[in-house]
Amino acid sequence: MNRLLCVMSNILISSLIFSCQPAGARESLRVLSYNVRNCRGLDDYHAVNVARVAGVISNQAPDVVALQELDRKTKRSAGRDMLQELADATGMIGTFGEAIPYQGGAYGVGILSKAKPLRSYHLPLPGKEEPRTLLVCEFDSFVLFCTHLSLTAESRQASAEIINQEQAKFNKPVLLAGDFNAKPETTEMLAFEKLWTRISPLQPTFPADKPDRIIDYIFVSKNTTVEVPESCVVNEPMASDHRLSLPA
């Protein structure tokens, strides 16, 4: 397997080639994971800059993007739908997964995709500090899970069990991407590795300006034959507080 590891900053990016049905067929897919912090950058937390975040995403030419920390029509975001604005700016399709109702709207995660999902749904995940969610989008030849896990280890461990059970329901390759709020050596991350292969690099993704910890990941289900020609963390230190990530 040939691998190209490029370490930049704050957005996880993975390009992969996987086998799917019919047997022997191969498909290329470019996947991103990005905690966008409601499109508020490190240079000015109070200023929303959708165009900048959309530009960072579009520059990577993704097929699908797992996004975290999105407001939909909340008071603090002046009633704006952040995912829809990103979808409009990137020319992609947005699918939202609500974690909590918030200030007259909702807060959660989202998926941008070139193709319209065959179906989508979200499942509640535990979080002592706030409820969390798993967003599932099924496409013709693969499934994408997007999540943003709890700040507490106990809740993350329980979430790992739920996510692993959900993965078992699919015969297609399943990708799992998001902000896990956990370092690689933790018990909950080791639990994921039972059923998933990490395809994002072990390079720091947070905080964006001076990253010193790995908490954002992209995985693929272990039953998938996959090649990963490119994987990196994109060097974008201001658009969000996380970096964008690609597979390893």
Tens-place pLDDT, residues 29-79: 999 999 999 998 777 666 789 999 999 999 999 999 999 999 999 999 999
Instruction: Tell me which residue has tokens 């992969």.
Output: 16
Q: Which residues contact 167 (CB under 8 A, 6 or more apart)?
A: 145, 174, 176, 195, 196, 221
Which residue segment(s) compose the domain that 139 sits in? 5-246
In the predicted model, is pLDDT for residue 241 greater than 60?
Answer: no
Tens-place pLDDT, residues 200-209: 999 999 888 8
The region, left, alpha or beta by phi > 0 then psi within -120 to 50, assigned to residue 104 is left
Number of domains making up the chain: 1
In the predicted model, is pLDDT for residue 199 greater than 90?
Answer: yes
CATH at residue 51: 3.60.10.10
Strands 174-179 and 5-7: unpaired
Band of the pLDDT at 89, cuts 50, 70, 90? very high
